[in-house]
Amino acid sequence: MASRDVRLPPPCCHLQDYRSSGGSTPCGGGAARPFRSLHRCLRARPLGRAEVRREADEVPRCGSCHAGAGSGSLGPRLYACLACAAVSCRAHAPGHADLRRTGHEIAVDVDRAELFCCTCRDQVYDHDFDAAVVLAQKALSFTASSPAEALPPPEKKRRRVVDYRPWAPDPMERAMVDRGSSPLPPPPSTAAASTSSSPHAVPPPPWGLRGLNNLGNTCFMNSVLQALLHAPPLRNYFLSDRHNRYLCQQKSQRKKHAVVGRGAGAANGASHGNATALGKTLCLACDLDAMYSAIFSGDRLPYSPVRFLYSWWQHASNLASYEQQDAHEFFISMLDGIHEKLHQDQCKSHNQGNGDCCIAHRIFSGILRSDVVCTVCGFTSTTYDPCVDISLDLDPSQGSAKTAATRAHSCNGEAESVLSSKTCGISTLSGCLEHFTQPERLGSDQKFLCQHCQVRQESLKQMSIRKLPLVTCFHIKRFEHSSTKKMSKKVDRYLQFPFSLDMAPYLSSSILRSRFGNRIFSFDAEDSDASTELASEFELFAVVTHSGKLDAGHYVTYLRLSNQWYKCDDAWVTHVTENIVRAAQAYMLFYVQKMLFYKASDNVVPS
């Protein structure tokens, strides 16, 4: 891990003498670790600040002048001697050190848990002391389980809200567009909608909204494809001809001709094999490019993604069947197929962690940070792992199990149940993210080898998000598999999810800031990523849902286009309300960075 250079204050001679003498503390300790046991005398406060532990009704007072927190408007700064725990104010601390002779020069600030030299009358810094304070903060964050011990949440900083307005051409730009392009013919539904004068008329469907035929239990594929076809960065990439399927096939054919040419001296019987090898190259990106051309052609008839299904079967032969598959597994396999083909063509290093190896990882790849902290010495082992999605558990502690009433909304003559009448709990996406990023104590069977202690120790683990992708996919773990009971089941717990999401509280920089406060040694240069923090606001544009049982279910996608919601159920596409979407049993949620999400204007004026 790279760390930035930190300019430390000059060492205090009294602190060095205290350390060399093995300074004794009221909590114990030794020459090797004079501050290690201090974490038992400390407690954590909001925003990472620590203080000396005391009773709730206890008011510390100076032993000489009896001045305490209640004296004056703010009260004096009080310091507790590390040798005898005597409390003194700033004026009487030097006298206490002189009276007790040697060994009583170093004290700790009662309210700020900072070292103070009574003889020098100044604050002093010690790396091991800060490590003890940080260890106390980490340990105490796990023990504050009861409501009495739980700390109040810190006040959230108000973020600057940016109003994203759709682009509108000025007269000069409109003239340039008219000269260089020709408008697409409006679909038949547009003309019918324009003649309707009802204020509640359903708006015409936007371009690119087209159903996908079910080719035999392929609703899992159709649901994910609908989300990817309308992911703004991926859509813009293919529609701007960044991946031309004709050029890609020609390039692949030239490579095959070169391979065949090198083997020209083979037997004549190989000619048939060469002819087969010179056929069309399987490429998921090319098939996706062809699908984009067909979907955004203006044709409203359902499209059959036969070629794409065949290519995916060739890539994932273990999933090649007409049985129902998992939509999340298809999503991962599809991105892997696109990455594998484009990685071979571009001859780039396999470095999807940086998100620059192919279009799939440039859009969907993020980086997770995992901190494993030794509970004995405080050593932290940090690892970074690339990811294309974030899998979240439905935290059973959120909400209470209640019997929800059944409400039905009529949409195009179809009644849809908003909530099931059976007993189920309610979870929230923010609660799932907090559960994902909160620290957890690893069991005794998961002890890790501490590089500082050189033995296996119990540890604490905390996950956070180091880098956010352009499109964040949340996978909700609704399918549970038990190896001991040899059974699987589906979790029908209801999940509340917002249409606008701020990911700032779950970033590594935010979590480290709340964990350590202003401890100067705890931050590395790589932990502060201004670009990630500025792009932490996301907008929901697609929801993949699963209804039914584990072995007999159906996938449906809800798309947010032009600020309207549409239900894509294989070949059928219908307009729905926000309440229908919020009540859906979400399985995969697709969020895009707000700067890439263009909301439709409330008052659309036809040109």
Nearest one of 537, 538, 573 to 558, comparing CA atoms? 573
Flag whether 172 is in a domain. Answer: no
- How much is the pLDDT for 429? 94
**pLDDT tier, 591 (very low <50, low <70, confident <90, very high otherwise):** very high
Rounded mean pLDDT of the chain? 75
**pLDDT tier, 306 (very low <50, low <70, confident <90, very high otherwise):** very high
**pLDDT tier, 173 (very low <50, low <70, confident <90, very high otherwise):** confident
Flag whether 479 is in a domain. Answer: yes
Residue 113, token pair as written in the block: 């848990």
Mean pLDDT across 407-434: 58
Based on the fold, state whether residues 325 and 448 are members of the same structural domain.
Answer: yes
Flag whether 560 is in a domain. Answer: yes
Based on the fold, state whether residues 131 and 222 are members of the same structural domain.
Answer: no
Is 271 a residue whose pLDDT tops 60? Answer: no
Based on the fold, state whether residues 95 and 225 are members of the same structural domain.
Answer: no
Which domain CATH number covers 474? 3.90.70.10
In angstroms, the CA 87 to CA 61 distance is 7
Structure-model confidence comparison of residues 246 and 42, the more confident one: 246
In angstroms, the CA 34 to CA 22 distance is 6
CB 519 within 8 Å of CB 133: yes
Pairing between β-strand 390-392 and β-strand 471-476 as defined by DSSP bridges: parallel
Provide the number of structural domains found in the chain.
Answer: 2
Positions marked catalytic: 219, 554
Range of weakest confidence among 189-193, 341-345, 404-408, 502-506? 404-408
Flag whether 219 is in a domain. Answer: yes
Residue 110, token pair as written in the block: 């009662």
CB 88 within 8 Å of CB 114: no
**Which domain, by its residues, includes 571?**
208-252+281-344+355-396+426-606
Q: pLDDT tens across 79-134, in order?
A: 888 888 888 888 888 888 888 767 788 888 888 778 889 888 888 888 777 777 77
* Three-state DSSP class for residue 354: helix
**Residue with tokens 């470095």, as numbered in its chain:** 351
Backbone angles phi, psi at 393, to 5 degrees: -85, 145
Which domain CATH number covers 32? 3.30.40
Based on the fold, state whether residues 316 and 456 are members of the same structural domain.
Answer: yes
Mean pLDDT across 356-360: 78
**Residue partners of 74: CB distance under 8 A and separation at least 6:** none
- How much is the pLDDT for 471? 95
Flag whether 165 is in a domain. Answer: no
Mean pLDDT across 310-326: 86
Based on the fold, state whether residues 573 and 462 are members of the same structural domain.
Answer: yes
Most confidently modeled range among 64-68, 99-103, 165-169, 354-358 = 64-68
In angstroms, the CA 512 to CA 382 distance is 12
Based on the fold, state whether residues 542 and 449 are members of the same structural domain.
Answer: yes
DSSP state of 525: G
In angstroms, the CA 469 to CA 480 distance is 27
Based on the fold, state whether residues 82 and 223 are members of the same structural domain.
Answer: no
CB 80 within 8 Å of CB 548: no
How many beta carbons lie within 10 A of that of residue 219, not counting itself?
22
DSSP string, 275-331: HHHTSPPP-HHHHHHHHHHHHTTS--S-B--HHHHHHHHHH-GGG-SSS---HHHHH
In angstroms, the CA 84 to CA 99 distance is 13
pTM to 2 decimals? 0.69
**pLDDT tier, 593 (very low <50, low <70, confident <90, very high otherwise):** very high
Among 89, 106, 140, the domain-final residue is 140
Based on the fold, state whether residues 214 and 119 are members of the same structural domain.
Answer: no
Flag whether 584 is in a domain. Answer: yes
How many beta carbons lie within 10 A of that of residue 468, not counting itself?
22
**pLDDT tier, 597 (very low <50, low <70, confident <90, very high otherwise):** confident
Mean pLDDT across 270-288: 62
**pLDDT tier, 150 (very low <50, low <70, confident <90, very high otherwise):** very low
Among 87, 114, 140, the domain-final residue is 140
- How much is the pLDDT for 607? 37
Mean pLDDT across 295-324: 89
CB 23 within 8 Å of CB 117: no
Pairing between β-strand 122-123 and β-strand 390-392 as defined by DSSP bridges: unpaired
In angstroms, the CA 135 to CA 129 distance is 10
H/E element, 384: strand 380-387
**pLDDT tier, 418 (very low <50, low <70, confident <90, very high otherwise):** very low
- How much is the pLDDT for 53? 72
Range of weakest confidence among 269-283, 378-392, 556-570? 269-283
Flag whether 501 is in a domain. Answer: yes
Flag whether 440 is in a domain. Answer: yes
- How much is the pLDDT for 378? 74
Our measurement of the distance from residue 99's CA atom to the centroid of its chain's CA atoms, rounded to an integer in Å, reads 57
Based on the fold, state whether residues 126 and 234 are members of the same structural domain.
Answer: no
Based on the fold, state whether residues 120 and 215 are members of the same structural domain.
Answer: no
Nearest one of 54, 109, 60 to 81, comparing CA atoms? 109
Structure-model confidence comparison of residues 207 and 209, the more confident one: 209
* Three-state DSSP class for residue 372: strand
Based on the fold, state whether residues 216 and 95 are members of the same structural domain.
Answer: no
Among 125, 140, 155, the domain-final residue is 140
Mean pLDDT across 168-195: 64
Our measurement of the distance from residue 228's CA atom to the centroid of its chain's CA atoms, rounded to an integer in Å, reads 19
Based on the fold, state whether residues 84 and 217 are members of the same structural domain.
Answer: no
Backbone angles phi, psi at 78, to 5 degrees: -115, 145
In angstroms, the CA 26 to CA 22 distance is 13
Residue 235, token pair as written in the block: 């859509």
Q: Quickly list H helices, 5-108.
A: 13-20, 93-99
